[in-house]
Chain A
């Protein structure tokens, strides 16, 4: 603070904070850092909270996950179930499934934590995707924030895998079917598929008993560690170059930001959001059932179930696997590329690849290499907005087809009919939207331009009024003193 030490200290209040602050600064020389961090500025816009929601969902996942890990047994050793859930008594099942049943039904609050964990995983991915869309459509990924964006897309990929592993560990019928498909997709990778799957599973599907230990360490340690490291890097990069911001006032420019400081303004806001996210997740965990694992029964490779649906964030892969027409790429008696490769591996790779590479793809087209700190309005980048809408619609339609069997049950439209509608629709609808959205953006821009001219004219008129003829004075202009 001020320079004259003794006088300054004497005017400070004594409320018990001086000692800790002095303690930390004397040991870590951290006062300058704290002083700076407290006045770090955050632009004020609701859409900047989406990323924070993802972060807080991650925290809830870690906390509830640690608790679940205290009870879970990652083993496929088979034994007979004698627990409290009567319909499954006497069934052969893996220790993994048995431990999750026990955790859900025989440990107090176990079900609450498991369901909260599951809801948090779903919210985690929703928030990531929404955050990604916000950053995409406002061009916030542009220089100097390309690296932040790529890390973000990487986290999306890691989060998808993490979520998949999470519900695979339960080893009920549903998760077993998911692992079988993952194995089929992995096997379909050209050249490396067979060796890779044998390495991961230890043996042909369903693999050695160790396989569950491998999934477990990946789910509770490797991927969370990767995610935590990436979150740290993501936040560090944001702190280094600050947030983008919308041009909301004249004071906001490409080199100057306007916002509220971390302390005191942002801290209660963010912490409040964290508690709200956690609270709502626990309310969901208590009140809204998710993945009632006891209904499905244990998995065995020879069992299957109709109408099974994965967690929402894997629906796009199911849809893609189902939409692909029946063919393997073969040469004589040899398979080159088995069918699941297209929908299960290539499709997500393309989607994540295009997203990750987008800053560079866009730069190629626009030639724009400048530093941007202003978040664009979607209309101001018609090509990007149109492409984004088309691309997301493409993914969304494929996702929607993943639920075609549900649509059939609900709406009666036969699966076959839907298949043909979607096979055409996933190409036609995005193209049409591309053209349409671009046109809408341009028209909005034109309207803005007209308004800008109007405003400028008014401003000029206002300047006129400073001369002694107040006739042209606009009602909107402010009298100048």
Chain B
């Protein structure tokens, strides 16, 4: 269609409007043909939707709101095009698009409140249909008149369905090592593995100071593995109360624990001061997720919060070059617990 077609159409519309308005008699509702007005002659059928009185004011409000919606929508395009991506104000985009939609919503609300014929109708609630229920059953039962061993056939059908479903679901076993839960226990640590920092530099025992904490990783392994990161701290060796079988795990008071909380697997990212020195004289490792708190002095035991297991400790040793190395694997399973797996298998 050419533009002038549109112009002509528009003109015709306006002309018709004007003519109609001229001929309008008070009380005539638009949309209801003249013959079927209330009080018209008796032959014409009742309208389905009763006539209402026109509301030119409301129409004007709707027109205004729609116009505003147009302006906002065009504004969105303009803002999008006018600004450079770095300077583009998100607020302005939101105001334009949101404003346009809100205006349309408001226009519709005015239509609903003031321009639509209000009706209050009554209707019976739908009921259940016992007659048809019976017929459904009848159809099903009567359709089986040629079948003699119904139960057997239904059973065979169900069995086939089960078998096929099993076949269809089997490929999901390839999703992961479902039967082999071994990987859950593996860590990249072992006797002699050097401790490095985030950028792969070996960590020297001499650099580990008290009252702060470091994150260490096994040399040559991915830092993204759940079994990799350890928290390294130095404490006063005289205050250590490690379990008897961890003798020599903390050279010079340097301790290493898995950094993965035994509760639900967040990183134990906080190292806090004693909160109330009389009762808890020591620093403690805290997980920010649900505030499980572990006491490094006693080998990572839980002193607060929901965790049900101590933080696994990594035995350390210092090599001839003064670098930290693992002296073995963790004292327990790393990360959140699962069915039947509490201690590390020997």
A residues contacting B by CB (< 8 A) are 1-2, 11-13, 39, 41, 78, 84, 106-109, 111-112, 115-116, 144, 177, 180-181, 183-185, 187-195, 197-206, 208, 240-242, 251, 254-261, 264-265, 268-269, 271-287, 300-308, 318, 321-328, 330, 333-340, 343-344, 373, 405, 415-416
Given that A205-B265, A302-B215 are known contacts, is A260 also in contact with B125, CB under 8 Å in the complex? no
Q: How many A-B residue pairs have CB under 8 A?
A: 316
Q: Pick 9 A–B contacts, CB within 8 A, sort by A.
A: A109-B88, A112-B94, A199-B178, A268-B111, A272-B109, A287-B91, A321-B263, A328-B337, A335-B339
Residues facing A in B255-270 (CB within 8 A) are 259-261, 263-270
Complexed CA–CA distance, A188 and B261 (Å): 14
Q: Is B269 within 8 A of A304, CB to CB?
A: yes
Is the C-beta of B338 less than 8 angstroms from some C-beta in chain A?
yes
Given that A188-B336, A194-B181 are known contacts, is A180 also in contact with B95, CB under 8 Å in the complex? no
Q: Is B306 within 8 A of A343, CB to CB?
A: yes
List chain B residues, Cβ under 8 A from A305: 269, 288
Nearest residue in A to B259 (C-beta to C-beta)?
A: A302
Q: For B94, give its contact among A202, A277, A287 (CB under 8 Å).
A: A287
List chain B residues, Cβ under 8 A from A278: 101, 105
Given that A240-B126, A258-B121, A286-B94 are known contacts, is A304 also in contact with B337, CB under 8 Å in the complex? no
List chain A residues, Cβ under 8 A from B105: 272-279
Q: For B339, give its contact among A109, A190, A269, A285 (CB under 8 Å).
A: A190
Is the C-beta of B104 less than 8 angstroms from some C-beta in chain A?
yes
Is the C-beta of B241 less than 8 angstroms from some C-beta in chain A?
no
Is the C-beta of B323 less than 8 angstroms from some C-beta in chain A?
no
Complexed CA–CA distance, A116 and B223 (Å): 35
A39 to chain B, nearest CB (A): 7
Q: Is A202 within 8 A of B175, CB to CB?
A: yes
Q: Is B108 within 8 A of A279, CB to CB?
A: no
Top 6 nearest A-B pairs (CB, nearest first) are A286-B94, A184-B264, A272-B108, A304-B269, A279-B101, A328-B308
Q: Is B336 within 8 A of A286, CB to CB?
A: no
Given that A181-B265, A328-B337 are known contacts, is A260 also in contact with B95, CB under 8 Å in the complex? no
List chain A residues, Cβ under 8 A from B340: 334-336
Beyond A269-B109, A276-B105, 5 additional contacts (C-beta under 8 Å) are A115-B90, A188-B336, A204-B183, A273-B105, A335-B308
Q: Is B120 within 8 A of A275, CB to CB?
A: no
List chain B residues, Cβ under 8 A from A333: 342-343
A175 to chain B, nearest CB (A): 12
List chain B residues, Cβ under 8 A from A274: 105
Complexed CA–CA distance, A56 and B313 (Å): 52
Complexed CA–CA distance, A399 and B284 (Å): 27
Complexed CA–CA distance, A283 and B91 (Å): 8
List chain B residues, Cβ under 8 A from A264: 49, 116-117
Q: Is A194 within 8 A of B339, CB to CB?
A: yes
Q: Is B124 within 8 A of A184, CB to CB?
A: no
Is the C-beta of B86 less than 8 angstroms from some C-beta in chain A?
yes
Is the C-beta of B204 less than 8 angstroms from some C-beta in chain A?
no
Complexed CA–CA distance, A258 and B125 (Å): 10
B260 to chain A, nearest CB (A): 7
Q: For B91, give its contact among A109, A286, A300 (CB under 8 Å).
A: A286
Q: Is B33 within 8 A of A198, CB to CB?
A: no
Q: Is B288 within 8 A of A286, CB to CB?
A: no
Given that A203-B177, A304-B267, A321-B306 are known contacts, is A242 also in contact with B126, CB under 8 Å in the complex? yes
List chain A residues, Cβ under 8 A from B177: 198, 203
B56 to chain A, nearest CB (A): 18
Is the C-beta of B224 less than 8 angstroms from some C-beta in chain A?
yes
Q: Is A321 within 8 A of B264, CB to CB?
A: yes
List chain A residues, Cβ under 8 A from B266: 177, 180-181, 184, 304
Q: Is A328 within 8 A of B91, CB to CB?
A: no
Is the C-beta of B6 less than 8 angstroms from some C-beta in chain A?
no
Q: Is B92 within 8 A of A304, CB to CB?
A: no
Q: Is B124 within 8 A of A187, CB to CB?
A: no
Q: Is B101 within 8 A of A269, CB to CB?
A: no
Is the C-beta of B190 less than 8 angstroms from some C-beta in chain A?
no
Is the C-beta of B309 less than 8 angstroms from some C-beta in chain A?
yes
* Partner-binding segment picked from B154-162, B225-233, B243-251: B225-233
A64 to chain B, nearest CB (A): 11
Q: Is A181 within 8 A of B109, CB to CB?
A: no
List chain B residues, Cβ under 8 A from A240: 126
Q: Is A265 within 8 A of B112, CB to CB?
A: yes
